Chains A and B, each alone.
Chain A
Amino acid sequence: MSHFASPLETAVLFSLGPVPITRPVVTTWGIMAVLTAGSWLVTRRLSLHPSRLQAALEMVVEVITAQIRETMETDPAPYRPLIGTLFVFLLFANWSSLVPGVEPPTSALETDAALALIVFCATLWFGVRALGLRGYLKTFAHPFLLMAPLNLIELFTRSFSLMVRLFGNVMSGVFMIGVVLSLAGLFVPIPLMALEMLTGAVQAYIFGALAMVFIGGALSESSGQKEEISR
Chain B
Amino acid sequence: MNWIQIASIFGAAFAIAIGSIAPALAEGRAVAAALDAIARQPEAANTISRTLFVGLAMIETMAIYCLVIALLLLFANPFA
Contacts and interface: CB of A to CB of B under 8 A. Distances in A.
B54 interface: yes
A164 B65 contact: yes
B79 interface: no
Size class of the B contact interface (CB-based, 8 Å): 10 to 19
Contact of B64 (A8, A168, A210, A213): A168
B50 A71 contact: yes
Interface of A: 1, 6-9, 67, 70-71, 161, 164-165, 167-169, 172, 202, 205-206, 209-210, 213
* B interface secondary structure, majority: helix
B57 interface: yes
Interface of B: 46-47, 50, 53-54, 57, 60-61, 64-65, 67-68, 71-72, 74-76
A8 B76 contact: yes
Contacts of B61: 161, 164-165
Nearest to B65: A164
Contact of B54 (A1, A172, A210): A210
